[in-house]
Structure 1
Amino acid sequence: MASQLLKRTEVEKRYCLSRSTIYRLMDEGLFPRPVRLGSRSVAWKESDLEQWLEERSRKTQGA
């Protein structure tokens, strides 16, 4: 099953993150990298974001 692709504005809304936070976390290796769609367009795989959220939740719960 193919994963849905989310543009940055949708990622910001769904995960309550600002643009600067998304790119800072990516630079720190703490957020999934997007898929390049064109020369000036990227999107994130929803499955990558859900996995990131699960891992983040486990870390905060101490598991």
Structure 2
Amino acid sequence: MNAHPQPTEDGASANQASPQVPPPARLLRLPEVIDRVGLRRSAIYQRMSEGRFPKSRSLGPKCAVWVEAEINDWIDEIARRNT
């Protein structure tokens, strides 16, 4: 088995020639959201009810998750607003 990527017609390796695929979407549980945004559970849910924080999704009766990209966008928006 050859461990070296094969060059393409333009001389680039096969890894460089393929388009960049975005990472798959991740779902975050509440403890990770709390760690990322620095808010307590009550503050997260309060802001969600006011429409100032991304909504959680339910995966079951006792399982709420947030879409990582939405949390990242919220963090970026807060950072832009306060610079």
TM-score tier by shorter-chain length is 0.7 to 0.9
Structure number with the bigger relative contact order (C-alpha 8 A, sep ≥ 6) is 1
* CA deviation map 1:13-63 (0-9, x unaligned): 1221100110111111110001111122110011000001111111112xx
Please report the RMSD computed on the Cα atoms of aligned residues, expressed in angstroms. 1.1
Q: How many residue pairs align between the two structures?
A: 61
* Structure 1 stretches of at least 4 aligned residues deviating more than 2 Å after TM superposition: none
Q: Where is the helix percentage greater, Structure 1 or Structure 2? A: 1
Q: Percent identical across equivalent pairs?
A: 36
Match status 1:27 vs 2:49: yes
Please list every run of 5 or more consecutive structure 2 residues that lacks an aligned counterpart in the other structure.
1-22
Q: Under a length normalisation based on structure 1, what TM-score does the superposition of the two structures give?
A: 0.85
Name the one with the larger strand percent. 1
Task: Flag structure 1 segments of 5+ consecutive residues without an equivalent.
Answer: none
